[in-house]
């Protein structure tokens, strides 16, 4: 427990002041910098300075000066608790936290990973069915005419399977689809996780029709000559992201 939480907890024990109940928090009437959340359950709308605890929280001075105004704070933090099935954060909660509409997304999102994810199309559709997202109706995962999901092989042939990388690829394709349901997700699979193949996969991604954003879920150690690799991420009209 940090010093502010400790100090706040001691203040609660020593004080007999009544606390008002307001929108899911207990508020000290004469100091709105101090709040007590009613629950320790995580809320996808919580602001970054919140922790979930049964101790009083010292929030600190409002950045604009003076006491912390409770209504703007509640607008940031107060929202529905976990409602997804299976239990956890579902697409609607995550989109809500970022203010992304359920009909968002357009164009093509490319994702670069390594090795083959053999059950990608099936898993993509199972995830989509669970959360009411558009499913890929094509049974040919490599067809460029697919509307929602496609795989492109960097080397022109199917890479060998790799369970560890498949987990990463599942996370990438499913949550890209969850956040932008109307965009097409294209998974570009490098032949291996070597730098040479991953960089080659970047070149392939940049040539995918309609691709304007390319997300990369891989990394490596830094080196003195790493700037020489920057050219792999310079393509007109394509923005490369590192997750």
- The answer to whether the pTM exceeds 0.85 is no
HEC string for the chain: CCHHHHHHHHHHHHCCCCCEEECCEEEECCEEEEEEECCCCCCCCCCCCCCCCCCCEECCCCCCCCCCCHHHHHHHHCCCCCCCCCCCCCHHHHHHHHCCCCCCCCCEEEEEEECECCCHHHHHHHHHHHHCCCCCCCCCCCCCCCCCEEEEECCCCCCCECHHHHHHHHHHHHHHHHHCCCCEEEEEEECCCCHHHHHHHHHHHHCCCCEEEEEECCCCCCCCCHHHHHHHHCCCCCEEEEC
Digit-by-digit pLDDT tens for the chain (243 residues) are: 444 443 333 344 334 444 444 444 455 555 555 555 555 555 555 544 444 444 444 444 444 444 444 444 443 344 444 456 777 778 888 888 888 888 888 899 999 999 999 999 999 999 999 999 999 999 999 999 999 999 999 999 999 999 999 999 999 999 999 999 999 999 999 999 998 999 999 999 999 999 988 999 887 777 787 787 888 888 888 888 876
């Amino acid at each position: 427990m940090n010093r502010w939480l400790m100090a706040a907890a001691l203040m609660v024990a020593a004080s007999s002041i009544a606390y008002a109940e307001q929108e899911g928090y207990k508020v000290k009437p004469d100091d709105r910098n101090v709040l007590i959340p009613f629950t320790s359950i995580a809320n996808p709308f919580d602001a970054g300075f919140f922790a979930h605890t049964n101790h009083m929280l010292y929030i600190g001075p409002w950045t604009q000066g003076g006491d912390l105004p409770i209504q703007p704070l509640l607008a940031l933090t107060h929202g529905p608790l976990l409602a997804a099935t299976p239990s956890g954060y579902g697409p609607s909660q995550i989109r809500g936290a970022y203010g992304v509409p359920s009909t968002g997304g357009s164009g093509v999102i490319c994702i670069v990973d390594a090795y083959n994810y053999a059950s990608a199309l099936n898993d993509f559709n199972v995830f989509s069915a669970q959360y009411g997202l558009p499913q890929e109706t094509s049974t040919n995962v490599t067809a460029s005419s697919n509307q929602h999901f496609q795989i492109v092989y960097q080397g022109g042939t199917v890479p060998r399977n790799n369970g560890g990388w498949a987990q990463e690829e599942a996370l990438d394709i499913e949550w890209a689809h969850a956040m932008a349901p109307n965009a097409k997700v294209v998974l570009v699979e490098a032949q291996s996780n070597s730098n040479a193949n991953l960089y080659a996969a970047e070149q392939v991604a940049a040539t995918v029709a309609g691709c304007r954003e390319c997300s990369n879920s891989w990394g490596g150690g830094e080196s003195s000559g790493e700037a020489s690799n920057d050219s792999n991420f310079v393509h007109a009209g394509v923005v490369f992201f590192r997750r």
